[in-house]
Structure 1
Amino acid sequence: MSRAVMYESFGGPEVLELREVPEPHAGPGEIRVRVTVTGLNPMDWGIAARPEVAARFGTTLPARFGSDFAGVVDEVGDGVTGFAVGDRVFGGALGRAAADFVVVAPPLFRTPAGVSDDVASTIPVAGLTAVAALDAIGVGAGDTVLIGGAAGGVGVFAVQLATLAGAQVIGTGSAGTFEFLRELGAVPVAYGPGLADRVRALAPGGVTAATDLFGVETAETALALGVPAERISTVAGQVAGVRSTGAFDAAPDAVGRITDAIVGGGLTVPIAATFPIEKLRDAVALQAGRHVHGKIAITL
């Protein structure tokens, strides 16, 4: 037997249970990974909490939990090439990652030396979403980009990747995130009413691009500031004329770009908190409060 997090009804952290389940094995074309870390994302508890979100991802009850994982290959099925038992890897397994084992078919990514498992477990959703959000608006040298939700799990990637691309970054957050955002390389600005005026004061030369990682306030503010709709992206909200994107849109070289930046020291992934799998409910409650600066890792 092995363990996996499951839920039989939609709701808050209280619906999540760590249960014994039959141990899975790799079939033809599959790889089994012994999971060491599951990276927690807002979408994970969003799926578990709200039936309408679950429906968008094709999730039905009873369900398992988690999307991102890192670990070690411990079974390789017939026909699989390029991976061997003992390889450190990371990847995505929608609705299955919070478990002792995941069985997946490639693509699966090798974890480079110099990248820890907790950091690797943050890349499949948060890292790739950040790349897609920035690529959608062509952020580069000379841009002044406004990033909404800059202190969150996607934001920590987006701020640093935009800075590495040569852009000046203005990041929205609460007052308590300001020093954290400065450390990431962003000029912080408080979200909420009056955002456009505050951004004008910080960027008298204007904002040239924007991505909203939280809702629609930043995207709507960017439009009000005269940013063309084609240079605005969203990941968690819809605004007419503005492109909505996510990890599914990330370019084929996105993972390599992220891991190269981490290994090279140009990108750091702040792990805000680490919880053992037995304390998963506490981890979800912490993240659902929307005041986490960085990522949350679940260890197995």
Structure 2
Amino acid sequence: MRAMVFEGFGGPQVLHPADVPAPLPGPGQVRLRVEAAAVNGWDVKSRAGTTGAPAPTSPVVPGLEVAGVVDALGDGVTGVAPGDRVVGFAVGGGYAELALTKVFARVPDGLAATDAVTLPVAAEAATRVLRLLDVRAGETLLVHGASGSVGALATQLAVRRGARVIGTASARNQDRVAALGATPTTYGAGLVDRVRALAPDGVDAVLDTTGAGVLPDSIALRGGTDRIVTIADDAAADLGVTASYRSERDAGELAEVVDALARGDLTTTVGAVLPLADAARAHALVESGHPGGKVVLTP
């Protein structure tokens, strides 16, 4: 099968097309004919060699998220059949014509694969941190990076719980954050004063998706380190703040978010859809920091 691979660390240019063996589904796995594969920051870091992983000794197919049509089942798989459309976490890479997944959800009729594939990573992170923060109706949640993929989903899920969300974003994304149901504000100098003006009674919980050095301000706003979670700032340990990096993949939670997107109860933003062969361009776009939403590859 055709796939995009890298055989050594480097810039986006190390990604190139190659013929690789088609994967065979193991126990509990399904194989998809890939309709869409999302590009994540982790893909970029893996290709660049900044994750701490050893240098590859064989071609690596990147990609954490895939959506497509089931074409083969591994032992023990039930509830899904060849021809069904699913979206999930790729096993062994998703930038390919065929990919494996073990944690997945059905894609309802009418939901495009390019939209569904934006969900697995962001939905897992958003539901995990909201669970850690125990956000409840009537509380105020501050989300740093509310226009990003994780921040946007966390914002919407918190609003659906009945919480009030204050979301930080760049000046150009203020309207987008407001459309998610949050009260927007810009990040940067003066943030503490701006948030206090919007929430005179204080904030009950803080989610940092940015890693942009916002934890000291978050501590000031909370009056301590409790109910602050970051998914992006390695300074958390030194500051006594909870950092949550370990994925807790759950097919049921993914299905709930996928169904909500299909019903129109949640929204997601696709910044660009590019051919699989343009994976290097997709990585460069993500590295630019201004992709305008999730970047998606289609074989």
TM-score clears 0.5: yes
CA offsets per residue over residues 210-257 of structure 1, 9 Å max, x none? 100110533331111125423111111231332222471356642133
Give the share of equivalent positions with the same residue, in percent: 40
Aligned to 1:150, the other structure's residue is in SS state coil
Deviation at 1:264, TM superposition (A): 3.1
1:283 aligns with 2:282: yes
Task: Kindly state the Cα deviation for residue 140 of structure 1 after the two structures are TM-superposed.
Answer: 1.9
Q: Paired residue for 2:25?
A: 26
Report the Cα distance in structure 2 between the residues aligned to 1:89 and 1:252, rounded to whole angstroms: 11
Aligned mate of 1:100, from 97, 112, 117: 97
In structure 2, the partner of 1:42 is: 41
Q: In terms of mean alpha carbon deviation, does 89-98 or 23-32 score higher?
A: 23-32
8 A contact 2:143–2:209 mirrored in 1: yes
In the other structure, the counterpart of 1:269 is: 268
Q: Which position in structure 2 is the counterpart of 1:88?
A: 85
Q: How far apart in 2 are the matches of 1:151 and 1:12?
A: 26
Quote how far apart the aligned CAs of 1:78 are: 4.4
Cα distance in 2 for partners of 1:110, 1:59 equals: 35
- The answer (yes or no) to whether the contact 2:91–2:99 under 8 Å persists in 1 is no
Distance 1:227 1:115 in 2: 43
Change (3 A) 1:216 1:229: farther
For 1:273 and 1:47, locate their aligned partners in 2 and report how far apart those are by CA, in whole Å: 21
Secondary structure in 1 matching 2:123: helix
* SS of corresponding position for 1:225: helix
Q: TM-score, normalised by structure 1?
A: 0.90
SS at match of 1:230: coil
After TM superposition, the runs of 4+ consecutive aligned structure 1 residues lying more than 4 A away are none
Counterpart among 207, 210, 213 of residue 211 in structure 1: 207
Amino acid at match of 2:61: R
Q: C-alpha deviations, 1:58-81, integer Å up to 9, x for none?
A: 773442211100000112244433
Q: 1:182 to 1:21 in 2, by over 3 A?
A: same
Q: CA RMSD in A?
A: 2.2
Task: Please tell me whether the aligned partners of residues 174 and 190 of structure 1 are also in contact (alpha carbons under 8 angstroms).
Answer: yes
SS at match of 1:107: strand
Q: What is the match of residue 255 of structure 1? A: 254
Q: CA deviation at 1:87?
A: 0.9
Aligned pairs for 1:44-63 (under 5 A) are 44-51=43-50, 53-55=51-53, 60-62=56-58, 63=60
Residue equivalent to 2:66: 69
Unpaired stretches in structure 1, ≥5 consecutive residues: none
Q: Is the alpha carbon distance of 1:116 and 1:246 closer, same or farther for their aligned partners in structure 2, counting shifts above 3 Å?
A: farther
Distance (Å, rounded) in 2 between the aligned partners of 1:110 and 1:169:
30
Hey, what's the Cα distance between the residues in 2 that align with 1:113 and 1:67? 23
What is the letter of the counterpart of residue 173 of structure 2? T
Q: CA deviation at 1:263?
A: 3.0
Distance 1:35 1:112 in 2: 16
2:91/2:100 contact within 8 Å kept: no
1:177 aligns with 2:176: no
Unpaired runs of 5+ residues, structure 2, are: none
TM-score (norm 2): 0.90
Per-residue CA deviation, residues 145-170 of structure 1 (Å, 9 max, x unaligned), is 11111111212211111111111111
Report the count of equivalent residues.
Answer: 295
Change (3 A) 1:159 1:69: same
Between the aligned partners of 2:290 and 2:92, the Cα distance in structure 1 is 24
Distance in 1 between the 2:154 and 2:86 partners?
23
Match of 2:108 in 1: 112
Q: Indicate the larger mover: 30-39 or 191-200.
A: 191-200
Shift of 1:268: 0.9
Distance 1:66 1:187, change over 3 A: same
Give, as a single letter, the amino acid of the residue that structure 1 aligns with 2:192: A
Paired residues of 1:277 and 1:299 also in contact (CA < 8 A): yes
